Copies of this chain bind each other. A is one copy, B any other.
Amino acid sequence: MPQRKLDVVLDSVKRLLRVGATSNLVNLLQKQHPADLAQLFSELPDKDRQAAFSLLVERNSKLAMEGLSELGPEAGAALLSHRSAEEIVKLTQELPSDDAAAIIDYLPEELSVAVLEVIQKRPAGGDVGDLLEYPERTAGRIMNPKVFALSEEMTAGEAITALQNSRDVEVVFYLYVIDARRHLVGVVSLRRLLLVPPATPLKRIMTTDLISVHVDTDQEEVARQVASYNLLAIPVVDEENKLVGVITVDDVIDVIKDEATEDVYRLAGLSGDDRVFSTPSESLRKRLPWLQVNLVTAFLAASVVALFEGTIARWATLAVFMPVVAGMGGNAAMQTLTVIVRGIALGELTFANTRKALLKEAAVGLANGFGCGLVAALVVWAWKGSPGLGAVIGAAMVINMFVAATAGTLIPLGLRALKVDPALASSVFITTLTDVFGFLSFLGLASLLLRYVGAGG
């Protein structure tokens, strides 16, 4: 079990740091896989992390940077942020340019600008500078511009030789074939190359019907294509269909995880980069404004209750059951909202089948309303001995859960039609709606009961 093995290493690292046994420490770190190194870094207190990284960088800067990169761009940038722009440029050159670009992007504003200035002066750093010119969250930003490509004039044998001489290309998944002007014309698998006689022209064995993405394609769309066509890599082309990079499946996995986190986060009114170990002040800066928006909507719902203050003054029992109706609506709405938002994210819900989804959720909402409303009515009747109040809570619950289901479907779909992320229809807005409708239907019906029948009716 890898976790336990790593715990042993972690303890040793802490101990060696404490006693200052730096050369033993570096030897131990040297033996770790970059992913394990990242895990170790993330579990060390801030000071120890910085110390361990600094020691390793002096001995093996490539491994140190790979470990840093596996931490993710934000935490990675934090580890570099006290260094000079020149040092950072030198160190990030140990990384693939897409990873380097992501880290530089997360450096503090001034440092990031300084780093880019240094890079622009060096021809070797051009790749990273180029990547940062593509908009965030696009294929261009996450692609690796070092893509191995073969000329369509080659034979299978020549292709194998070319491959054997391409030392600096780390992993080759598919071999892309280009014409004289670098237009992407086909793809051939490594295995296919082995199966044909060496003299076979690539043109004859390549597949021309290949899937590619444009540099401007949204990263989520890239991930969806790689996942649905089960690809290991997808080529990236510019507006003239020239091959400019490749996105591999490991980068796609990171995108899928990030997008999933983003969806969960937005539903809860959180910013995507608010992580477990963001500093308290960072997390506060990101959460408090959202909670204050929330506070405004909560007072909106409170003002609905205020309309019925007179009714409540006459019949205080209403205040006891009022939150039950609102809360149940909120929970039902969250269920619907989650199914719809996730359905959109996974591509299961399209414009073509919107109506079907709405009808289904409305039906489920009504049925849930009857299922819960009946129980609530009986409980209230038994508890307070008032069949009238029981009927009011039951009816209010049916109304509110129907509203919850339709709003939970329509709001995210409407946002998507407006090209806004549907997950932004977060719990905050939906629960305000279910609070307002819950209070309105329950207190409204109770007022009518009070006027025409009297409390206890």
Q: With a CB–CB cut-off of 8 A, which chain B residues contact A371? A: 284, 288, 291-292
Chain A 29-68 interface mask (CB, 8 Å, partner B; 1/0): 0000101001100110100000000000000000000000
Segment touching B, from A86-94, A118-126, A360-368: A360-368
- Given A265-B338, A327-B435, A334-B427, A376:B295 Cβ within 8 A: yes
Binary flags per residue of A273-284, CB closer than 8 Å to B gives 1, else 0: 011110110011
A35, B229: Cβ atoms closer than 8 Å: yes
With A and B bound together, what is the CA distance between A249 and B252 in angstroms?
11
Nearest residue in B to A227 (C-beta to C-beta)?
A: B253
Q: Residue on B with the closest CB to A189?
A: B171
Interface residue count for A (Cβ, 8 Å)? 119
Q: Is the CB of B306 within 8 A of A320?
A: yes
Interface pair B295/A360, CB less than 8 Å apart = no
A332-387 with Cβ < 8 A to chain B: 332, 334-335, 337-343, 346-350, 352-353, 356-357, 360, 363-364, 367-368, 371-372, 375-376, 379
> Is the Cβ of A323 less than 8 Å from the Cβ of B321?
no
- Which residue from chain B places its CB closest to the CB of A304 in the assembled complex? B320
Contact at B190–A346, with CB atoms within 8 Å?
no
Q: Let me know if A219 is at the binding interface, CB within 8 A.
A: no
Please name the residue on chain B nearest to A397 by beta carbon: B295
Known interface pairs A229-B35, A264-B267, A316-B309; A10-B323 also in contact (CB < 8 Å): no
A362 to chain B, nearest CB (A): 9
Query: Which residues of A from 302 to 328 have beta carbons under 8 Å from B?
Result: 302-303, 305-306, 309-310, 312-313, 316-324, 326-328
Q: Which of A15-23, A107-115, A238-246, A254-262 participates in binding chain B?
A: A254-262
User: In the complex, which residue of chain B has the Cβ closest to the Cβ of A360?
Assistant: B280
Alpha-carbon distance between A3 and B276 when the two chains are bound, in angstroms: 37
Interface assignment of A191: CB less than 8 Å from any CB of chain B: yes
Partner of A284 from the list B172, B270, B291, B368 (CB cut-off 8 Å) is B368
- Report B-chain residues with C-beta under 8 Å of the C-beta of A163: 191, 194
Quote the shortest CB–CB distance from A411 to chain B (angstroms).
Answer: 15
Are A312 and B323 in contact, CB atoms less than 8 angstroms apart?
no
Asked if A431 is at the interface (CB within 8 A of a chain B CB), the reply is yes
- From B256, B324, B327, B363, A256 is in contact (CB under 8 Å) with B256
The B-contacting residues of A in range 428-453, CB under 8 angstroms, are: 428, 431, 435, 439
Q: Are A257 and B323 in contact (CB under 8 A)?
A: no
Q: How many Å lie between the Cα of A227 and that of B254 in the bound state?
A: 8
